[in-house]
Chain A
Amino acid sequence: MSADGPGNGTSDPDLLAAHVGGDPDAFGILVQRHRDRLWAVALRTMGDPDEAADAVQDALVSAYRSAGTFRGDAAVTTWLHRIVVNACLDRIRRAKARPTVPLPEPDGRQPADPRDAIGARETAVVVGQALATLPEEQRLALVLVDMQGYSVEETAAILDCAVGTVKSRCARGRAKLLPLLVGLRNPDAPTGVPPGSVSKPQGGGAA
């Protein structure tokens, strides 16, 4: 995915190389091309638009400065996502170190009554609240794989971990989310998923 949108006809690596070579417009084109996907990852990971904006801005400025270190061993999009993800994790961990900043507590509490959730907006709210209860590694894996549609392999490259680790994080995360989401309408079924129609997570969700 390199030639869609702004800068048609110029690949991502060529744009990055042009930027490194001094082209004043190349990086901006790259950003325009990918910013919506980067934004979606940051927004869903941070759960707060202001925090997400700060993270993406930090990440893209960092990417702008460090473009010369890109070696081409990953796709440019993977590299950009990795920088955004790291910026998000940095902000999350810094926020945790600040006791005055309220944080989503990964304590498994049910943040809302999903039985009241109707429609896409409500679904998004409930899902967002449920995601906020997860450890950030599990949240990131699910955001990338399930919500953004990246392959497990691509997600592993973004998160700089093994494919099996991504699968494990996804499985553990889904198990934690299940009791929080059972009241939501199953998008793949003609009727909703009634509470209690699904099995309980096994193994006590040790994650």
Chain B
Amino acid sequence: MSDQPSDPIPEPLLSSEDDATVSALLRAAGGPVPMPAEVAARIEAALAAESSTRVASGSVTPLVPRQRRWTRAVLGLAAAAAVVLVGGALVTTLGDGVSGGDDQATSAEAGGAADTADLARSATGRDYTPAELPESVASLLGDEGTPLNQPSVPSSVDSVGPQGSPEADAESMAEAPGALASTRDAETGQDDLDAAAATHLVLDEARLAPCLERLTDGRREVVAVDAGTYEGEPAVAVVLAAGTEAVDVFIVTPACSADDASILHFERVDR
């Protein structure tokens, strides 16, 4: 360090008047600064992750590294994802989300049954707003807490391989929870690019994994990830389990990464 920590007597570097002047200038520029809501939400989420870990482990200071649930979930998805391309709408479901399919068991075996069972990834194009977030999330998760698309994805989804052969028919397109917002305006290339960025974040493990790591610190169960919009702008909703009665919803931009979750909105809503 450049100063002398052991020096008990300050050197008379300034006159007392000048010293007081600088001090007053600093004081005038100081004072309270409210923590931005985004930061408060981030910290609340990080502490909630700690809390859930503590509850699970029964320890205040758990020393054993927690299982990285989302990582295993993502790996499970990579092994057994069912991808449906319907026009611009991409729908990916996992595990229980695809009723009656063999993929359910496959994904459970590949990724760990308990952790992957509830994860659903989708690109509904849903527009999330603060006012309607509880309803949107309830709709996303389904009335019984089941993953998205279960009622509407045709059974043919089970026969679609990871390459995503676009064999769904017009009926399934109509029944899909929602095409990407950009597809409503297919002639606007930039909109497509923006919306595609959100979709790519959801479907690209290499990009999604660091984003989820940032949000969960590897310690929380990811229930659902959905590409859509937030107040009209491309965004991804990440739903994390918060006990059995609630979920934490993070709305992030497609730029969400390991360094910056790029949170637009955070809210805990009842399941």
Contacts and interface: CB of A to CB of B under 8 A. Distances in A.
B44 interface: yes
B206 interface: no
B7 A127 contact: no
A175 B13 contact: yes
Contact of B60 (A20, A50, A206): A20
B24 A147 contact: no
Contacts of B19: 171, 174-175
B14 A178 contact: yes
B17 to A, nearest CB: 8
Interface string A168-207: 1111101101100100101110000100001101110111
Nearest to B50: A64
B21 A39 contact: no
B244 interface: no
A164 interface: yes
Given A31-B47, A199-B14, A146 B6 contact: no
Interface string B231-263: 000000000000000000000000000001000
The 7 A-B residue pairs whose C-beta atoms are closest, nearest first, are A147-B30, A164-B8, A146-B26, A187-B28, A175-B13, A39-B35, A127-B29
A36 B46 contact: no
Interface stretch (A1-9, A54-62, A73-81): A54-62
Given A39-B34, A65-B50, A167-B10, 13 more contacts: A22-B54, A31-B43, A35-B40, A39-B35, A57-B43, A147-B31, A165-B5, A165-B6, A172-B11, A174-B23, A177-B22, A177-B26, A202-B14
Interface residues of B, number: 52
A52 B36 CA distance: 11
A60 B30 contact: no
A149 to B, nearest CB: 7
A170 B10 contact: yes
Contacts of A174: 13-14, 18-19, 22-23, 26
B3 interface: yes
Contacts of A50: 260
A114 B76 CA distance: 58
Nearest to B26: A146
B132 to A, nearest CB: 26
B40 to A, nearest CB: 6
A171 B14 contact: yes
A188 B39 CA distance: 34
